[in-house]
Amino acid sequence: MRVVIAGGHGQIALRLTKVLAGAGHEVVGLVRNPDHQVDLTAVGGSAAVLDLEKADVTAVAEVLAGADVAIFSAGAGPGSGNERKDTVDRGAAALFAEAAERAGVRRHLQVGSMGADRADELDPDDSFTIYLRAKKAAEDDLRARDLDWTILRPGALTNDPGTGLVLLADKTGRGSVSRDDVAAVLAGLCETPASIGRTLELIAGDTPIATALSTL
């Protein structure tokens, strides 16, 4: 497969690139900073320097051309202002999905956020609420598109070593999950047709990842 990942220098994306490249797939990560190219090369991928906050849909579609899977794993980050939560977590996600449609890349994975479906119940002025609303808007945008989409909502992320044991379901309840295991699940979802059209939650659990994917 040829896989293009938005947010290619992110912690999950670098792990995902290593998993996919190690399995023989071609992986291209979108990065804003040219200095980050070396980090993608180190894990077996390649980089396309492109700022999703500034690029137009044509430029993004050109990078996506010929891909089998598009994965949106970008985010403004916890230290960003409220404006960037909208331009990245919502705006860049929508741009990437539109570009995938134009490029004819049907399989589309998007990393969402657990709690996005209750954003309207929270303090509208709180920074985390603004983040959740941006993620929810990105999810709603993707669901309306003619793509074979899957939204994955991980629990609280940790840098603990992956265990390969998870709970993957439409609803899991709160919990944490290692970035290693998120990356492994995303890699598996690329080739899991049963996940198309579903919003899935992911936390640490007792089920081997391969089994969790095969029983969706």
Cite the active site residues: 131
Please give the single-letter amino acid code of residue 29: G
Distance CA 78, CA 192 (A): 31
CB 27 within 8 A of CB 51: no
Q: Tokens in use for 190?
A: 């690329």
CB 22 within 8 A of CB 79: no
Q: Give the rounded distance of the alpha carbon of 111 from its chain centre.
A: 3
Distance CA 216, CA 213 (A): 6
Distance CA 189, CA 210 (A): 10
H or E segment and range at residue 1: none
Dihedral sign for Cα atoms in the order 99, 102, 104, 106 = positive
